A and B are shown apart, each in its own frame.
Chain A
Amino acid sequence: MTTSGVLRIATAGSVDDGKSTLIGRLLHDAKAILEDQLAAIERTTAKRGGEGLDLSLLTDGLIAERDQGITIDVAYRYFATPQRKFIIADTPGHEQYTRNMATGASTADASIVLVDARKGLLVQSRRHAIIASLLGLRHVVVAVNKMDLVGHDESVFRSIEGEFGDFLERIGITRVHVIPVSALHGDNVVDRSTAMPWYTGPALLELLETLDTDDIAKRPFRFPVQGVSRSRALDQADYRGYMGRIESGTIARGDSVAVLPGGQRTCVRDILAWHDNAATSLPTASAGQSVTLALAHEVDISRGDLIAAADTDPGDAPRVVQAFDAVLCWMSKNALDLSRRYLLKHTTRNVRARIIELQSQIDVNTGSARPAAGLALNDIGAVRITTQSALVIDPYTTIRSTGAFIVIDEDSNETVAAGMIR
């Protein structure tokens, strides 16, 4: 199954950058804002003493956000063009809400980073790019906004393009797209601008319609077991099926698989999905599909085990570990405590863990590493973790689903960190 029909985008920035205005403009010009929403925005704009349409009101949906004129949490918006469906996660730009930005960016294929043409590269734009890079987003689109306020001057744009391009390259982002726009007037948002004839690239929406997505079906097969189904299906005897979602790769009936961390080998007897009121057998299935696998041999398998491709190149095999290095985004007001025990959720497995070493802290504003004193809210650090029982992992940059985890405080139940395995 392909997900290429849907592009997930994260935008980051604050009202000052014109981020919400840009999304509002994108939705408005793509005719994805409906009449009653426009009428509500007009009413609210007028009530607040403004004129016309304050398009930022469209995404800042919470009372507190409207009162304070800032974005606090992610808003999800949905629209489609004849080419593609889009899910936009409109995320906050203020440093104090970095965890909400990471929430929105974690599932995205592309990030749109806004830069105010008058101000050039600010700390905030850099932070957005660094988080996009850490979370492994495939594309970064830099929208140089408010071009109308610098007289549509090409040299202003080229200077920002050069400076940001160098920065993005340094932090490891390779697919970079830079567009001069005016969100307020709609230049290069949906339609190409006539005010900037020196720019010959696509408008923002055109670009978004053509961005490629990561083809996870081509990676090695990974199937974290969500649960075991013991049922009588069709005319078969009792069968044990393993429920889960294929996180990467493809699988066919008869394929050899390894059950990890135990290491037992068997092969796939059947791939089942419920269809038309019956268990239906599929010859193959691929990344993104939720299915039930039946295996050829009786193997002791439970939730949290990983069924992976067997007989792959050693470089493609997952690692079974109880200690590993990772990057942590700390998301709690309570700072990291190296002396305590945390709960770690990785794929469908929950294990107790300790963060035994804080190796360095990553400066979210420059991307450089520095010695770390501790990890507090919104800090990002490189750490070493040990777990009470084995995890089956891949590097985050190779397979997101088996390289990502969250850290939970067992007392408060709070999600205190998000982690990416190195």
Chain B
Amino acid sequence: MDSNANPALSTSHLDWLESESIHIMREVAAECANPVLLFSGGKDSIVLLRLAEKAFRPGRFPFPLLHVDTGHNFPEVVEFRDRRAAELGERLIVRSVEDSIATGRVKLRLADESRNRHQSTTLLDAIAEFGFDTCFGGARRDEEKARAKERIFSFRDTFGQWDPRNQRPELWSLYNTRVHAGEHMRVFPISNWTELDVWQYIERERLAVPAIYFAHLREVIPRRGGLMPVSSLVSPRAGEQVETRMVRFRTVGDMTCTAPVESTASDCVAIIEETAVSRITERGATRMDDQTSEASMELRKREGYF
């Protein structure tokens, strides 16, 4: 399939999305005292970094980068994170869930359970430690139904909580950035981007992404209709088979709950084609923790999650 065969793959809208995102980032830089950009090494935050370059270069970014390391990250992604931050010459702060566990801030029920939820504690502690009043995140409204409801400038109270029933009105592109001490704002510059837009932008900007986004052979365990990647944290349970399949990751999160999809897409163009015809949503295909209840994301977000 080429772009003539599917005009939905036209890219003229990318300029409009890019401009909106730059405008949002510049509003934060002008009005917020101490912002930070959450950078995980995943594709959405990679796009955020490019947008920050477009907004602020040749100057430096008016904020540092922060990664909340779960200790369950794919090693390729952590390595990419460090390399990208160094290339940009920007300051990267890493705070880890491991440390939160060591200090007793996070208590695990099971040693190898998903640390997805626990990131919220480490994140809120880091926000308090540095006094950040604004965190840029790479969340998109097309990802999930609770995110579909969230404002671009999303207020968090002194407990870091989102109150979905009482969001600030947000008209036109006039953002109310004001918070009191101890409260903060989460800002999502790519709220209006879809998964397809992100891949089209990565292709257009020739952005590097961690290799696990592209098709590769990997040992996986078929489980609950998905494929769990074998790792130091995931091994077969009784009755399960390890198989080697050609897969790629659509999202990169906690290794214990992020599943790859079968794919032979080995470059951006192939991923764009696959995404355009995919019949399964990004999180539906890959995040086991979002399937535990129909409101998993909303509940996590209320606790301070990204």
Contacts and interface: CB of A to CB of B under 8 A. Distances in A.
Interface stretch (B74-82, B102-110, B145-153): B145-153
Interface in A195-248: 226-227, 229-233, 243-245
A161 B264 CA distance: 53
B223 interface: no
Interface string B11-38: 0110110110011001101100000000
A279 B57 contact: yes
Contacts of B57: 274, 277, 279
A113 B60 CA distance: 47
Interface in A363-422: 400-401, 404-406, 408, 413-415, 418
A413 B13 contact: no
Interface stretch (B63-71, B91-99, B211-219, B280-288): B280-288
Interface string A332-345: 00000000000001
Interface stretch (B114-122, B175-183, B229-237, B248-256): B175-183
B47 to A, nearest CB: 15
A61 B146 contact: yes
Interface stretch (B2-10, B239-247, B265-273): B2-10
Contacts of A1: 15-16, 19
A317 interface: no
Given A63-B295, A274-B54, A290-B55, A74 B194 contact: no
B149 A74 contact: yes
B1 interface: no
A345 B281 contact: no
A6 interface: yes
Given A36-B280, A80-B8, A404 B59 contact: no
Interface string B141-162: 1100110110100000000000
Contacts of A37: 281, 284
Contact of A85 (B8, B55, B168): B8
A103 interface: yes
A345 B174 contact: yes
A408 B8 contact: no
A74 B168 CA distance: 12
A288 B13 CA distance: 11
B89 interface: no
Given A73-B164, A273-B54, A289 B15 contact: yes
Nearest to B297: A61
B149 A36 contact: no
B203 interface: no
A413 B149 contact: no
Interface residues of A, number: 71
Pick from B13, B22, B58, B176 the residue with the most CB of A within 10 Å: B58
A290 B23 contact: yes
A206 B25 CA distance: 36
A233 B57 CA distance: 9
A362 interface: no
Contact of B176 (A40, A345, A400): A345
A406 B294 contact: no
Nearest to A416: B169
Given A36-B284, A245-B22, A226 B27 contact: yes
A266 interface: no
Given A6-B13, A76-B141, A413 B23 contact: no
Interface residues on B, range: 35 or more
B16 A288 contact: yes
Contacts, number: 168
A415 B295 contact: no
B111 interface: no
B148 A77 contact: yes
A68 to B, nearest CB: 11
Nearest to B183: A413
B294 A40 contact: yes
B174 A414 contact: no
A405 B146 contact: no
A107 interface: yes
Given A85-B13, A245-B22, A289-B19, A78 B141 contact: yes
B104 to A, nearest CB: 31
A5 B12 contact: yes
A238 to B, nearest CB: 11
A5 B192 CA distance: 14
B229 to A, nearest CB: 19
B19 A62 contact: no
Pick from B15, B149, B192 the residue with the most CB of A within 10 Å: B149
A12 to B, nearest CB: 15
A74 B148 CA distance: 8
Contacts of A345: 174, 176
A38 B48 CA distance: 31
Interface in A71-91: 72-78, 80-83, 85, 87
Contact of B171 (A78, A87, A106, A303): A106
Nearest to B170: A103
A19 interface: no
A112 interface: no
Given A274-B53, A406-B169, 4 more contacts: A62-B295, A82-B7, A102-B171, A290-B18
Q: Would you list the 10 A-B pairs with minimal beta carbon distance, nearest first? A: A61-B145, A36-B284, A290-B22, A106-B171, A413-B178, A80-B8, A290-B19, A226-B26, A5-B13, A231-B58
24 contacts: A1-B15, A2-B12, A6-B16, A34-B281, A40-B284, A59-B145, A61-B146, A61-B149, A73-B149, A73-B167, A76-B141, A76-B191, A77-B142, A77-B148, A82-B6, A102-B169, A226-B26, A230-B59, A245-B23, A273-B54, A277-B53, A290-B54, A348-B30, A415-B168
